[in-house]
């Protein structure tokens, strides 16, 4: 097969056995691979009511058909499971080289089921699948785990080609906020996965492969990829992304009043020390790329910064927003430290930042005192925040409460309205009052309010393909639906979504066809994306989500933004949701109509 | 004579050169292990290494390389397809691999796909 391999590795941790299955080509045609295939396999095999921590829950790792073929930005590996945080599906996008190496190891999909008796590491090295006892790794940080595993391989050559995804202390202690870390990158949107891995006593997965991938028309494929690289080079936004990573968004979001401060209560004061200039002058940036990525947006701070000692990652937009400004912290070095702490401990920065912002507001409202917490968590206290992240992950002291997540905290103190999140997941740092389309997406997204399942800001804020005002409602439901479907299909192909800032979705179609030997048109692919979205929606509905979860906290719909460029705006999602449901072919309760499901060839009921 | 100039400070470790090379040399096939350029990694740094012939002279003149504050074993960046390491050797046939600049005139596919500027074709 071209692009696809057509094999799935299934590992049962309870029995300690594994076997290889063929994947039905019809499924690949219908769901493409990656996120689509993974969600399909998960939905078919796992009951929606299952407890995330029970052995019946499964972990699915899937790499799309374009991953590893050299298709630009074809690197993303999707991790799908039932989230310990939201109780619904979670689909994390793993960056780096893990996904490509999984393909070279000869698998499109890896399904992990059951629960090991003792901590184990799954090692898939050159066709040998083994479960290695991991007692000596348990309790270590993600970076230590990776280093120790490579050292234990004994051969520096093969260690260099091995890629490891592991959980940190947070995942081992079953914190719902835990994430996994591969190649020292945090997968985005993975809150809830670390704890599921921890509950299976699975510390890490290591892969290395030597198989070849086939491409349908190599010459044409090489030409198309070269053209796309040149196109990306002439796009100004992907150039900024190359230079400073996603942090270039900070300034733009700030100008439009989208960047939130102090738990979404006000717009930040002028940011002199946090934008791209500060990043450039404070850190010598060194780019790191995921597999086959011409942009390389991940930045290492390869300098002797006192806080970093030459090992840290430069803060991204997510870190600056969630762990920084929204917690009142405007010092890049502290934000970088917090982000690094999240990586080492295996905490999701958005989820952890949301929990911290919640507790900081509780402190400010005097619902809880810093003495009770035994840690001085206030808006703007960076040192305490970094310490709280460490204590949270190691579950020490009073900070252990924090690890349960913002929603649980706010409810514990009887103030659920303080938690700024949807479906238990805190909002990514975009104020939905100032960017209406993103607000609609946050409310309706199957996975919780995360921008990475619909990059609507590309059109709303950056005006790349369409010229839309962030605060207008006109055309937003259609925009949200289109981006949600586009993202679903890009994830299924295994492509990163950020290049959409420089390329149209149509530009990808020749690359897909020359690689896979298919004759898709852009609309065919988007149709598959919509099918995937409906499939995910169906599972979440059976897991207990309904229209009442498609909403935003009252702060966004009732309290106008008090200051800044978007002063006076509120989120008007109620006006948009009916049109959105209608466009999706759903009824007023947000349930897919039987004819919609039939049109997508999905099971009705 | 054309050469490929390597600037390791620019390399992002994306390995796009590896896929380009194997696609260009083995019809319709991608496999980094069959590529004649490999990206080696040491800590935070990446070093693209382009395959060359294995000659004894390279080993007898072996010494240590100091970059920044760190000392490296020369083997780590050696371009020879030598029997001591698993790089630059076709696994199935055991044939050593060597960069051929993708034909005449030279238009190396790795340079075409390298977007970071780490690989560059120069005349000297």
Whether A223 and chain B come into contact, CB under 8 Å, resolves to no
Residue A513 to residues A66, A225, A226, Cα–Cα distance (Å): 10, 12, 15
* pLDDT above 60 (res A403): yes
* pLDDT above 80 (res B124): no
Whether A221 and chain B come into contact, CB under 8 Å, resolves to yes
Q: Which two tokens stand for residue A449?
A: 């309010």
Structure confidence at residue A493 as a pLDDT band (50, 70, 90): very high
Of the candidates A68, A286, A296, the beta carbon closest to that of B44 is on: A286
Q: What's the 3-state SS for A436-453?
A: HHHHHHHHHCCCCCCHHH
| CA–CA separation, A533 and A538 (whole Å) | 9
**Min CA distance, B40 vs chain A (Å)?**
7
Query: How much is the pLDDT for A485?
Result: 95
* pLDDT above 80 (res A507): yes
- Residue B23 to residue A222, Cβ atoms within 8 A: yes
Q: Which ipTM did the prediction report?
A: 0.91
Query: How much is the pLDDT for A63?
Result: 94
Question: A-chain residues within 8 Å CB-CB of B23?
Answer: 70, 215, 218, 221-222
The pair phi, psi for residue A64, each rounded to 5°, is: -70, 170
Q: List, for residues A94-149, the tens digit of each pLDDT value.
A: 988 999 999 999 999 999 999 999 999 999 998 899 999 999 999 999 989 999 99
Mean pLDDT of chain A: 89
| Max CA separation in chain B (angstroms) | 43
Of the candidates A216, A286, A293, the beta carbon closest to that of B14 is on: A293
- For residue A158, give the H/E element and its range: helix A156-160
Residue A304 to residues A310, A333, A341, A388, A548, Cα–Cα distance (Å): 5, 12, 18, 25, 50
Residue A136 to residues A128, A198, A342, Cα–Cα distance (Å): 22, 15, 22
Query: How much is the pLDDT for A605?
Result: 59
- Specify whether the backbone of A300 is left (phi greater than 0), alpha (psi in -120 to 50) or beta: beta
Q: List, for residues B45-55, the tens digit of each pLDDT value.
A: 888 999 888 87
A119 burial class (0-12, 13-18, 19+ CB within 10 angstroms)? Answer: buried
* Domains assigned to chain A: 7-208 (3.60.9.10), 246-280+311-426 (1.10.569.10), 436-502+521-599 (1.10.599.10)
Closest CA to A402 of A466, A352, A448: A352
Please tell me which residue of chain A has the smallest CA distance to B111: A226
* pLDDT above 70 (res A311): no
Query: How much is the pLDDT for A310?
Result: 52
For A196-252, the DSSP string reads HHHHTTEEEEEEE----EE-S-HHHHHHHHHHHHHHHHT-HHHHHHHHHGGGHHHHH
Q: Average pLDDT of A392-401?
A: 76
Q: Which two tokens stand for residue A144?
A: 């230590």
Q: List, for residues A136-190, the tens digit of each pLDDT value.
A: 999 999 989 999 999 999 888 888 889 999 999 999 999 999 999 988 777 777 8
Packing angle of the helix pair A236-244, A218-233 (nearest 10 deg): 80
B84 burial class (0-12, 13-18, 19+ CB within 10 angstroms)? Answer: exposed
Structure confidence at residue A305 as a pLDDT band (50, 70, 90): low
Cβ–Cβ < 8 Å for A580, A477: yes
| CA–CA separation, A295 and A53 (whole Å) | 38
Closest CA to B74 of B45, B99, B110, B49: B49
Structure confidence at residue B64 as a pLDDT band (50, 70, 90): confident
Question: A392: cis peptide before it, omega within 30°?
Answer: no
Structure confidence at residue A596 as a pLDDT band (50, 70, 90): very high
Question: A-chain residues within 8 Å CB-CB of B47?
Answer: none
Structure confidence at residue A306 as a pLDDT band (50, 70, 90): low
Cβ–Cβ < 8 Å for A490, A453: no
A396 burial class (0-12, 13-18, 19+ CB within 10 angstroms)? Answer: exposed
Residue A29 to residues A4, A182, A525, Cα–Cα distance (Å): 11, 29, 11
| DSSP single-letter state for residue A363 | H
User: For residue A433, how many C-alpha atoms fall within 13 Å in the half-sphere facing its CB?
Assistant: 26
Burial A440-471 (b: 16+ CB within 10 A, else e): bbbbbbbbbbbbbbbbbbbbbbeebeeebebb
| CA–CA separation, A23 and A84 (whole Å) | 28
- Residue A427's SS3 state is coil
| CA–CA separation, B39 and A426 (whole Å) | 38
Closest CA to B12 of A387, A242, A91: A242
Cβ–Cβ < 8 Å for A232, A19: no
CA A82 to chain centre: 14
Query: How much is the pLDDT for B77?
Result: 75
* pLDDT above 90 (res A252): no
Query: Percentage of residues in chain A with pLDDT exceeding 90?
Result: 59
Structure confidence at residue B107 as a pLDDT band (50, 70, 90): confident
Tell the residue number behind the tokens 């479906």, with chain if given.
Answer: A423
Of the candidates A215, A216, A294, the beta carbon closest to that of B16 is on: A294
Query: How much is the pLDDT for A302?
Result: 58
- Residue B56's SS3 state is helix
**Domain regions of chain B by residue span:** 2-123
- For residue A112, give the H/E element and its range: strand A109-113
What value does the CA radius of gyration of chain A take, rounded to a whole number of Å?
22
| CA–CA separation, A293 and A288 (whole Å) | 9
- Residue B15 to residue A222, Cβ atoms within 8 A: no
| CA–CA separation, A334 and B13 (whole Å) | 27
Q: Hey, which residues 311-370 in chain A have their CB within 8 Å of chain B? A: 311
Closest CA to A118 of A19, A16, A207: A16
Query: How much is the pLDDT for B118?
Result: 92
* pLDDT above 70 (res A317): yes
Question: B-chain residues within 8 Å CB-CB of A216?
Answer: 28
Q: List, for residues A186-214, the tens digit of each pLDDT value.
A: 777 788 899 999 999 999 999 999 899 99
- Give ∠ CA A381-A324-A486 in degrees, rounded to 5: 160
* pLDDT above 60 (res A258): yes
| CA–CA separation, A149 and A164 (whole Å) | 8
Please tell me which residue of chain B has the smallest CA distance to A302: B44
- Give ∠ CA B114-A188-A254 in degrees, rounded to 5: 90
Packing angle of the helix pair A218-233, A505-516 (nearest 10 deg): 160
Cβ–Cβ < 8 Å for A391, A397: yes
Question: B-chain residues within 8 Å CB-CB of A222?
Answer: 20, 23-24, 109
Q: Which two tokens stand for residue A543?
A: 């897991």
* pLDDT above 90 (res B84): no
| CA–CA separation, A438 and A236 (whole Å) | 23
Please tell me which residue of chain A has the smallest CA distance to B76: A157
Query: How much is the pLDDT for A397?
Result: 67
Question: B-chain residues within 8 Å CB-CB of A214?
Answer: 28-30
Closest CA to A419 of A429, A428, A409: A409
């Amino acid at each position: 097969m071209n692009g696809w391999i057509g094999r799935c590795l299934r590992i049962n941790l309870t029995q300690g056995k594994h076997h290889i299955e063929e994947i039905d080509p019809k499924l690949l045609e219908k769901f493409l691979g990656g996120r689509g295939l993974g969600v399909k396999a998960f939905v078919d095999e796992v009951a929606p009511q299952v407890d995330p921590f029970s052995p019946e829950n499964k972990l699915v790792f899937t790499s799309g058909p374009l991953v590893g073929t050299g298709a630009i930005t074809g690197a993303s590996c999707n991790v799908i499971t039932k989230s310990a945080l939201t109780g619904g599906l979670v689909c994390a996008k793993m960056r780096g080289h893990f996904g490509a190496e999984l393909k070279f190891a000869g698998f499109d999909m890896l399904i992990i089921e059951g629960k090991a008796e003792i901590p184990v590491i799954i090692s898939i090295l050159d066709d040998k699948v083994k479960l290695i006892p991991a007692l000596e790794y348990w309790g270590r940080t993600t970076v230590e785990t990776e280093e120790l595993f490579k050292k234990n391989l004994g051969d520096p050559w093969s260690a260099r080609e091995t890629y490891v995804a592991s959980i940190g202390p947070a995942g081992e202690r079953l914190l719902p906020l835990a994430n996994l870390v591969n190649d020292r990158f945090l997968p985005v949107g993975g809150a809830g996965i670390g704890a599921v891995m921890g509950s299976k006593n699975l510390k890490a997965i290591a892969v290395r492969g030597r198989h070849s991938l086939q491409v349908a028309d190599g010459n044409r494929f090489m030409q198309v990829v070269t053209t796309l690289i040149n196109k990306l080079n002439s796009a100004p936004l992907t150039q900024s992304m190359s230079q400073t990573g996603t942090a270039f968004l900070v300034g733009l979001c700030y100008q439009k009043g989208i960047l939130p401060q102090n738990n979404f209560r006000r717009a930040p004061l002028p940011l002199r020390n946090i934008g791209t200039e500060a990043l450039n002058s404070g850190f010598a940036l060194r780019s790191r790329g995921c597999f086959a990525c011409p942009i390389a947006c991940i930045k290492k701070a390869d300098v002797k910064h006192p806080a970093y000692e030459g090992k840290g990652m430069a803060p991204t937009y997510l870190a600056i927003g969630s762990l920084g400004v929204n917690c009142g912290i405007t010092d890049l070095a502290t934000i970088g430290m917090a982000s690094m702490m999240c990586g080492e401990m295996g905490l999701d920065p958005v989820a952890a930042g949301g929990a911290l912002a919640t507790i900081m507001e509780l402190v400010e409202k005097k619902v809880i005192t810093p003495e009770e917490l035994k840690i001085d968590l206030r808006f703007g206290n960076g040192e305490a925040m970094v310490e709280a992240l460490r204590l949270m992950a190691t579950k020490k002291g009073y900070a252990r409460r924090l690890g349960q997540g913002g929603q649980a905290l706010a409810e514990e103190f009887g103030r659920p309205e303080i938690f700024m999140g949807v479906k238990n997941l805190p909002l990514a740092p975009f104020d939905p009052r100032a960017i209406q389309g993103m607000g609609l997406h946050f409310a309706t997204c199957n996975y919780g309010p995360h921008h990475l399942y619909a990059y609507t800001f590309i059109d709303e804020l950056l005006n790349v393909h369409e010229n839309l005002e962030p605060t207008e409602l006109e055309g937003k439901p259609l925009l949200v639906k289109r981006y949600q479907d586009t993202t679903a299909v890009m994830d299924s192909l295994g492509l990163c979504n950020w290049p959409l800032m420089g390329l149209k979705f149509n530009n990808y179609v020749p690359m897909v066809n020359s690689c896979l030997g298919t004759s898709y048109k852009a609309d065919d692919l988007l149709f598959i994306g919509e099918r995937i979205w409906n499939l995910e929606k169906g599972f979440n509905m059976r897991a207990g989500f309904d229209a009442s979860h498609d909403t935003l906290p009252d702060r966004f719909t009732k309290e106008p933004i008090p200051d800044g460029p978007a002063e006076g705006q509120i989120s008007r999602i109620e006006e948009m949701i009916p049109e959105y449901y209608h466009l999706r072919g759903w009824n007023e309760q947000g349930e897919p109509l039987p004819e919609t499901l039939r049109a997508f060839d999905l099971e009705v009921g | 004579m054309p050469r490929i100039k390597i600037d390791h400070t620019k390399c992002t470790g994306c390995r796009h050169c590896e896929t380009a090379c194997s696609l260009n040399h083995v019809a319709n096939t991608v496999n980094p292990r069959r590529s004649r350029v490999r990206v080696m990694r040491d800590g935070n740094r990446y070093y693209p290494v382009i395959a060359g012939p294995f000659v004894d002279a390279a080993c007898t003149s072996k010494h240590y390389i100091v970059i920044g504050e760190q000392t490296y074993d020369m083997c780590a960046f050696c371009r020879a397809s030598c029997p001591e390491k698993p790089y630059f050797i076709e696994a199935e046939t055991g044939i050593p691999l060597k960069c051929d600049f993708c034909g005449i005139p030279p238009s190396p596919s790795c340079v075409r796909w390298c977007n970071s500027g780490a690989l560059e074709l120069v005349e000297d």
